Structure 1
């Protein structure tokens, strides 16, 4: 197998499958706590590389893909909610405003690292506390950065985006394809070259 996805996310698995590459999945277990003074961009890049390295250590000679997505309000990193109150607070803080979603993707093989970070602006509609609590009750926000998933019911919270939709879901397809081509991993594009 020429590629391992260091994730248990069904969304990342589905997106990577769209590129026509053969891969296995192995979830990476790392500490996702931001470092003191770490910028949101440095944070997502570090986590994507650490996830890939976590698996690559035991897979010499194999490319491992890691990715991480975070929601950023100002300079605040909005991770996965701890509980309902945390989720409602996050959602209300995004209500009627534009925020940034950063997704980093990294390919690691032995000591080689290829990476990209993609930034997308997401504009939320005005939402009420009762809407936020009703959304929490669906359980969709429980494991999502910023307490929402654009690809599901959370899509109704989004007025517009400026950037990559697939990046907000969890894996920027164009940038991931660029990295896979750079690493000479065959995918959909390999079958359609003239």
Structure 2
């Protein structure tokens, strides 16, 4: 089996990839993740996923490298990682009663060849009180999550409905799409790994 590398410093992506039970290493790339002027959210996610995979892949020939990036969009505004409690509370107040779109891009790079996809997901928030927002942020501390929530935890209490093909895309790494891409490169989680 080829060496598999996750080009990400995200503990969430690492945890998700571990579900596939394939040995891998983690090498976070050092890149500027700022959007380009006028760059659409989907294009931003795809560019960053591809850049992460390609940078690590060029330095590790023969390795299969996974890059991924997620962008959250409320109307036309990008929702970044809040970083602080105040920012998380403000972000959730903006999301209350509204729909946030997530675009999670994943790219698999192997010796100059690349395969990429983008998996959309929509989150419809219920109307949230300021007390609920404060308590949620206090309990889960979602300061490193775009949109200021963790859907795999208490974040599910914030929603009216979710809409998408792959719930792991919302967590940061679309495992359904990634599994298909890895099989394309001869890496199958359901085959005995040697």
Please report the TM-score for the alignment, with normalisation by the length of structure 1: 0.90
CA distances 1:32-80 after superposition (whole Å, capped 9, x unpaired): 1111100000011111111112322210121110111121111221111
Q: Distance in 1 between matches of 2:84 and 2:36?
A: 22
Q: Report Cα offsets for 1:129-185 as digits up to 9, x if no partner.
A: 232223333352110011111112222112221112111011111100111011112
RMSD: 1.6
1:144-155 correspondence runs (5 A):
144-155=145-156
Higher-helix-fraction structure:
1
Equivalent pairs counted in the alignment come to: 190
- The 3-state SS of whatever aligns with 2:21 is coil
Cα deviation, 1:67-126, whole Å, max 9, x if unaligned, reads 111211112211111433322221111111122111010011232111110001111111
> Structure 1 CA distance, aligned partners of 2:59 and 2:167?
33
Which secondary structure state, in structure 1, belongs to the residue aligned with residue 150 of structure 2? coil
Aligned twin of 1:39: 40
- Partner of residue 71, structure 1: 72
Distance 1:84 1:18 in 2: 30
Aligned to 2:85: 84
Q: Which residue of 1 aligns with 2:116?
A: 115
Distance 2:97 2:42 in 1: 23
Q: 3-state SS of the aligned residue for 2:147? A: helix
Q: Counterpart in 1 of 2:169?
A: 167
For 1:16, the equivalent position in structure 2 comes to 17
> 1:168-187 maps to which residues of 2 (within 5 A)?
168-187=170-189
2-structure distance, mates of 1:28, 1:124: 33
Q: TM-score, normalised by structure 2?
A: 0.90
CA distance in 1, matches of 2:161, 2:77: 21
Give the match's secondary structure for 2:143: helix
Q: Unpaired runs of 5+ in structure 1?
A: none
Unaligned runs of 5+ in 2: none
